[in-house]
Structure 1
Amino acid sequence: MKANWSLYTTLIGFFSVGLLIWVAEKRGGFTPRQVSLIAVLTTLCAAGRAVTGTGLLFLQPTMFLVEITGFVYGACVGFFVGAMTPLISNFFMGQGPWTPWQMLCWGMVGVSGAVLKALFPTAGNKTLTVICFLWGYLYGAFMDIWQWSVFMRPLTIKTYFLVWVAGFSFDSLRAIGNLLCCAILGHQTLKILEYFRKKIDVQYLEEL
């Protein structure tokens, strides 16, 4: 009996993203302000992806926002915003067995922002722009694993390479779109999110 790789890869994506969301929620200890912030940023990202994804294909001005969110607010917030972006936007773009894998990819974009902050605390928009550009290709390579395991036979390095080559032009469009959006909008977005982070971190002492 042949293995049902389509089912297996979908289940792997589903349980992986579910486990990571559970871990992020437990470790995050989100305050009501943070929950509101996550909701707003997720809405912006999902709306931007849904609107531009239909007409502009892979030129979506949203992945850079997920990256900067993780850079400013940490891995848990970055992962939540990233993972929820494709889940919500796919109600307009099309849900399918690929959704959990997209959630994983976008969530990792947010986490990578937090990792960059931990390794290089003084990193600026130029560094974020480079990372966003690279994610254009990394996202495609990761999603190619799902497509390869579901549609290609036999499952070999050669057939995966063929899938990757077939999608290279689309990955390049995504990478260029990420680069342009982050280069043009990243600096101001970083300042705005830093401002709101400081506002959220303010604590008011009760009168003695």
Structure 2
Amino acid sequence: MFHNQRAVYLSRMLLVFSLIAVFLVLVLLLKNQYFLLFSFMVLLCTLLPAYWRFEHQPLKTQTLMFVAILIALAVAGRVPFASIPSVQAASFVIILGGVVLGPELGFVTGSTTALVSNMFLGQGPWTPWQMVAWGLMGLTAGFIGRTKFRHSLIAMIVFGGVWGFVFGWMMDLWYALAYVTPLTPKSFILAFVASAGFDLNHCLSNVVLIGLLYRTWEKLFNRLDRKYSFLPKQ
């Protein structure tokens, strides 16, 4: 029974990521037109895993409020630092949210943060790609949260630092596919190299914030989780 449920869940997740990939490709093929429509389609896709995960166990009001608060904190952690390239606190909040709430709600938190914060910073064809990148950050943080590594500060620092580069590489991929012509191996690599400084800024901001605040915020979030039981007990 368990293996059947797991197979169904994996097949559903494969469908979600296949749809997201289609939307990202369509953004490129349509020359970055209708990007806002595709952004909302990506958001819908990120909501599906949470819906499937909790279809027989509805989320409590407290859980939905906590997700909304996390998104607001992540947006507030990004907008004020917009003048400093790639330096922001959004990734830190998304990682903590994923650790506490699990992969499905971490996915929702990350993708929604990109869409909402870009309402202040400016929407564009980069929005769906940022939604996917931050969504995957929250998703993978949720998987880390199910392991003993969530209690290791060193492991979380490494995780945050690596994601600072992975996020940048995903955005570099979009930029290269959308704007670099002719797209040759050399120009493709140069597109990635040109943003290395920005990726390093993102990495270092994640490392510093996790190093300074992770323990405190994890204890606070865990205390809230014990009080309100955000997720149904397995």
User: What is the TM-score with the length of structure 1 in the denominator?
Assistant: 0.86
Which residue of structure 1 lines up, in the alignment, with residue 8 of structure 2?
A: none
**Mapping 1:122-141, distance limit 5 Å:** 123-141=151-169
| Cα distance change on mapping 1:200 and 1:121 into 2, 3 Å | farther
SS of aligned partner of 2:75: helix
Give 2:136's match in structure 1, choosing from 104, 108, 117. 108
SS of aligned partner of 1:155: coil
Give 2:50's match in structure 1, choosing from 24, 31, 34. 24
1:175, distance to aligned residue in structure 2 (A): 0.5
The question of whether the paired residues in 1 share the 8 Å contact of 2:133 and 2:170 is answered with: yes
CA distance in 2, matches of 1:5, 1:63: 26
Question: Could you list the per-position Cα deviations for residues 23-54 of structure 1 after superposition, in whole angstroms to 9, with x for gaps in the alignment?
Answer: 3233244221110001111101111101122x
Structure 1 segments of 4+ aligned residues over 4 angstroms from their partners: 8-17
The question of whether the paired residues in 2 share the 8 Å contact of 1:68 and 1:128 is answered with: no
SS of aligned partner of 1:71: helix
Question: Could you list the per-position Cα deviations for residues 98-151 of structure 1 after superposition, in whole angstroms to 9, with x for gaps in the alignment?
Answer: 111101111111111111123435632221111111111000001111111110
RMSD (Å), alpha carbons: 2.4
Which residue of structure 1 lines up, in the alignment, with residue 180 of structure 2?
A: 152
Q: For 2:74, give the aligned amino acid.
A: C
CA distance in 2, matches of 1:24, 1:113: 15
Question: Could you list the per-position Cα deviations for residues 54-88 of structure 1 after superposition, in whole angstroms to 9, with x for gaps in the alignment?
Answer: x3332112211211111111012211111111111
Matched, 1:168 2:196: yes
CA distance in 2, matches of 1:157, 1:198: 51
CA distance in 1, matches of 2:166, 2:30: 23
Which residue of structure 2 lines up, in the alignment, with residue 47 of structure 1?
A: 76
1:22, distance to aligned residue in structure 2 (A): 2.3
Q: Number of matched residues?
A: 200
CA distance in 2, matches of 1:115, 1:75: 6
CA distance in 1, matches of 2:185, 2:44: 29
- Mind listing any 5+ residue stretches in structure 1 that lack a counterpart? 203-208
User: What is the TM-score with the length of structure 2 in the denominator?
Assistant: 0.77
Sequence identity percentage: 29
1:90, distance to aligned residue in structure 2 (A): 0.7
Matched, 1:58 2:86: yes
| Cα distance change on mapping 1:4 and 1:156 into 2, 3 Å | farther
CA distance in 2, matches of 1:71, 1:173: 23
- Mind listing any 5+ residue stretches in structure 2 that lack a counterpart? 1-25
The question of whether the paired residues in 1 share the 8 Å contact of 2:150 and 2:156 is answered with: no
Give 1:38's match in structure 2, choosing from 67, 73, 95. 67
Question: Could you list the per-position Cα deviations for residues 158-203 of structure 1 after superposition, in whole angstroms to 9, with x for gaps in the alignment?
Answer: 322111000001100110111111101111111111111111218x
Q: Which has the higher contact order (CA 8 A, sep 6+)?
A: 1
CA distance in 1, matches of 2:187, 2:50: 35
| Cα distance change on mapping 1:77 and 1:175 into 2, 3 Å | same
